[in-house]
Amino acid sequence: MICENREFKSLTLVLLFTYGIYSTYAQSWANDVGYDELVEELSSHPIVNYESSVFIPAQDTSWKYRKGTSEPSSPSWLWRTLEFQENEDWIQGQTPIGYGDGDDNTILTDMRGPNINLSPPYTSIYLRRKFIVERGKIPSRLILRTYIDDGAIIWINGYEVARLYVSKDSISHDSTAYSHEAKWESIIIGRSSLLLNEGENIIAVQALNSSLLSSDFSFDIELKSPPFKASLVEAAGTEGNFLPEYSPNLEPEEGYNFQGTGSFKQQLFRVKTFSENVSYEKSGHSEGVGKRFFSDESITSWIPSVDVYAANQWSSQDFLLFGTSLPPLTEESMIQNHSWISYGYNDDNSPTEIDSIVLAHNEIIRRFDYAINRDQFIACVGLNNGDSTKVPSILASSYNAIVVGNTNGSHSRGGTPSVLGIGSGTVNHDGIGRLKPDIVANDNSTSNCTPQVSSAISLLYGISSNLGMPNACFPETMKAIIMAGAEKDQLEDWTRSSTKPIDQVYGAGKIDVHNSYKILTKGDQSTSKEAHYYGWDFKSLEAESEIFYDLVFDQDIKEAIFSLNWNRSIISAPWIDGRNYNSSTANMSLSICRNNGENLILYDLSDSSIDNLEHLYLRGIPKGHYQLKVSTDISTEFGLAWRAEKGNLPKIKIGTDSQNIIINCENLIKGKDFKLQKSSTLSDWTTQRDFTANDTSFVFIEPQEGDLENKSFFRLEWNPVN
C-alpha cells in the first residue's frame, strides 16, 4: 500500500593521534545522559545481566559420536537435526576424543587402521550433543571455543555456524581437513537468538583428520554465552603510554592482566598490546576516557573486564590485521570505544601518495565494518574537535559504528571525507558525504563524549540481556534505539530533510538512556499487531519489498521520533576469501502516514540515497491511527525504533474586551513556525500572522471591526514535520 502524498496541516599505516583534554574535575555524567531520571522513575538502579551461561563445557561426558566409516544418515543432513534418533552405531563418550596426543578422554584406537575386529580406517567422526537454553535466557551471541586437530564443521539446530580448516566444497564421510595443530580458539556466533530455541537444541559436528596416516587427531569444544566485556582502544601518547592506570608490571608478557585500583577497582584489565613501541604506564587521556566509560564514576561501574589496546597495534597485529591476508581476529567484547582519530594525509601529499593512503584507510574501515557484522559488537567512535575540521577517515567514516559528536557543536562536519580535487581522481573513500555524527553527548571534548555513549549503550545492553531481549543487542537495533531516544529539545537549531535524515551538526540529538530505556522495555514489536507509543524491531527484508507497522496513539503527541538503521555488508575481500572486494549496502526508506479511515495521508518521508540510516521527527500530531512503512531495494537486515511522547497540541483561546479580540496561543512548540488564520465563513481562511514560537505561549491582540454580530473564527496552523 502506498500513502497518498498530501501536504499535512494540523491543528603510514595511519597517522594516529589523540585529541581532547583530560579534565581533572568531576562531572555528573549520569545526569548528562538521562540516567538519574531513569533511576528516579524506577526508584532503583536498573537490573543488568553480565554473567556467562555455559551450555556445553569442555571435557563433557554427554557427547554421542559415530565413526565416519559411512554416511551417518539418509538424507545426509538428517543427523544434524534435533529430531534425528541415534541408533546403535552412536556411542556415548567424553571429550577430548581422538588418538595420538596423550590427552584424550575417549581414544579412537582404530581410526588409522583395523583393530582386532578388522574395522576399516576412517578420516572423520560425527558428534551430537543436545543442550538446554532456559526460558528468557537466549543470548544475542555465543562463544564457541574449539580444540581441533585437524578440522571440523559445526552446526547448531541444522545451521552451519563454523567451518574450521576444511574446504568449502561439499563433504562426505571420507573427506579430510587441512593439517592443523590443536590449540584452543574462539569463534563468536553472532545473532544466536535467531538460531537457538528455548528448551532443547542440538549441536552437530563432523570432525576431520588430515589423512588416514595422520599421527594424531583430537576434538573438544565449549559453548557458552560471552561474559560482559568491553574494549578500550587508545592512541599511545608521546611516551607510548595507553593504559588507564599504571600496570604493576612494566614489562608484561602476552596474556598479562591486572586488577584495577581506585576508580577502576571493579575492572580486570587485560593488556592486548605487547610491543616495544608502547609503554605500560598510565595515560591521562586513557584514564579520563575510562572514568566515563566503566569506572565507579560512570553509570556502568559493573563492567567486570576490559581489554585495552594501543590503536596503531589494534589496527595491525592485535585485531584488524591490516596489511595481512588474514581477516580480523575475534572480538569477544560487546562494546569497543575509540576516542582517537586519523586523517593520514594533508595538502603536502602528492595525488599518488593520497591515493595510497585512501586505499589503506578504505581497507581499515572495511575490516572494521566486517568485524562488527561478523562478531556483532557495537563500536563507538569519536569525531575530531573543532567545528572547522573535516570528518576523519578513520574511524568516523565507518558505516557500522556509532559516530559521536559534542552538544556544543565543536566537532568535525561536512560529511564523510572525499579526496576529489586533491587525489588523482581514480581513488576515493567509500560512501563519501554520509552524515556524521550519529549522536552527540555533553562534555569538554569528543574524546570524553564518546565513552559516555559507550557507557550508555553498555547499560542498555546489560538491561536487554537481563530482560531476555537479545535482538535489541544487535548493532543495528541498538543504534536505532539510542538514536530514537536522543533528545533534541536543547538543540534549538536541529533540523533535517527527507534527503538529509539527521542534523548535519548534532545527528539524531543528545544521548538519553531514559528515553531509550522506555523504547527498549516495550520489547520487540510485531508487524501483525498494533503498536503504540514506544517500540523497536529487528527484521530481514527481501529485495524490492516493504513492511508496515500499524501505530495507534490514543492521545495527542507532542513529539514522535522514528529511527531506521542498517549495516554495510562486506561480502568478499582478499583477506576473507581471496576474491576481489565486494560489499552491499541497501538503499532503504522510511515514511509515516495518517490513516483517516479512508485514505493514508503522507506526513513525512526519509529517503537518503547515501546514508545507511533514515530518521523522522514530528512535533504536534493528533491522536489516531498511523502507518509506518519500511522499504528496501536489496535484501538486508535492519533495526527500527520509535518513541511518541504524549502531550497537548497547540491551541487558541479567544477573549474580548470593548475594542479588541484577545487571542491566547497555548501549548506552542518552541522553534516551530505557526500561522494564525482568520475566517468569517469557516471555508475561506486568510493568514493574519506568521510567527515562530519562541515560547510555549503567546498573546495576540486583534482589533474588533464592524458589526459585532458578524462572527470571526480563528485557527492555528503548523506543519509537524521537522
* Segment 481-517, tens digit of pLDDT: 999 999 998 898 899 999 999 999 999 999 999 999 9
What's the chain's average pLDDT? 92
Structural domain total, the chain? 3
Least confident residue range of 10-24, 124-138, 553-567, 632-646: 10-24
Shared domain for 417 and 274, answered yes or no, is yes
Shared domain for 280 and 181, answered yes or no, is no
Task: Specify if 72 maps to a domain.
Answer: yes
Shared domain for 371 and 465, answered yes or no, is yes
Is the C-alpha dihedral spanning 536, 537, 542, 547 positive or negative? negative
Domain that holds residue 216: 54-224
Cis link prior to 475 (omega < 30° from 0)? no
Domain boundary pick from 194, 224, 254: 224
More confident residue, 597 or 335: 335
pTM above the 0.95 mark?
Answer: no
695: confidence class by pLDDT, cuts 50, 70, 90: confident
Task: Specify if 617 maps to a domain.
Answer: no
pLDDT score for 7: 40
Domain boundary pick from 165, 195, 224: 224
**Percent of the chain surpassing pLDDT 90:** 79
pLDDT at 115 over 70: no
Task: Specify if 540 maps to a domain.
Answer: no
pLDDT at 180 over 60: yes
Shared domain for 217 and 297, answered yes or no, is no
Task: Specify if 625 maps to a domain.
Answer: no
Classify 639 as helix, strand or coil: strand
Can you give the CATH number for the domain in which 440 is found?
3.40.50.200
More confident residue, 711 or 514: 514
What is the 3-class SS of 605-628, one letter each residue? EECCCCCCEEEEEECCECCEEEEE
Shared domain for 44 and 142, answered yes or no, is no
Task: Specify if 713 maps to a domain.
Answer: yes
- In tens, the pLDDT along 382-400 reads 999 999 999 999 999 999 9
Helix then strand then coil, % of the chain, to nearest 5? 15, 35, 50
Shared domain for 186 and 151, answered yes or no, is yes
pLDDT at 3 over 70: no
Shared domain for 193 and 304, answered yes or no, is no
pLDDT at 11 over 60: no
Can you give the CATH number for the domain in which 63 is found?
2.60.120.260
Task: Specify if 4 maps to a domain.
Answer: no
Question: Once rounded to an integer, what is the mean pLDDT over residues 563-583?
Answer: 97
Nearest to 163 by CA among 152, 171, 150: 152
pLDDT score for 702: 79
pLDDT score for 116: 57
Shared domain for 60 and 24, answered yes or no, is no
Shared domain for 43 and 111, answered yes or no, is no
Shared domain for 194 and 256, answered yes or no, is no
pLDDT score for 1: 37
Torsion of CA 191, 192, 195, 200, to 10 degrees: -160
**Measured distance CA(472)–CA(29) in Å, rounded:** 24
CB 274 within 8 A of CB 254: yes
pLDDT score for 591: 97
Task: Specify if 630 maps to a domain.
Answer: no
pLDDT score for 709: 59
pLDDT score for 24: 36
- In tens, the pLDDT along 414-444 reads 999 999 989 898 999 999 999 999 999 999 9
Shared domain for 214 and 355, answered yes or no, is no
**Measured distance CA(310)–CA(35) in Å, rounded:** 30
More confident residue, 667 or 295: 295
More confident residue, 102 or 220: 220
Shared domain for 88 and 233, answered yes or no, is no
Q: Distance of alpha carbon 204 from its chain centroid, rounded?
A: 30
Domain boundary pick from 494, 512, 530: 512
pLDDT at 367 over 90: yes
Task: Specify if 590 maps to a domain.
Answer: no
**Measured distance CA(557)–CA(563) in Å, rounded:** 17
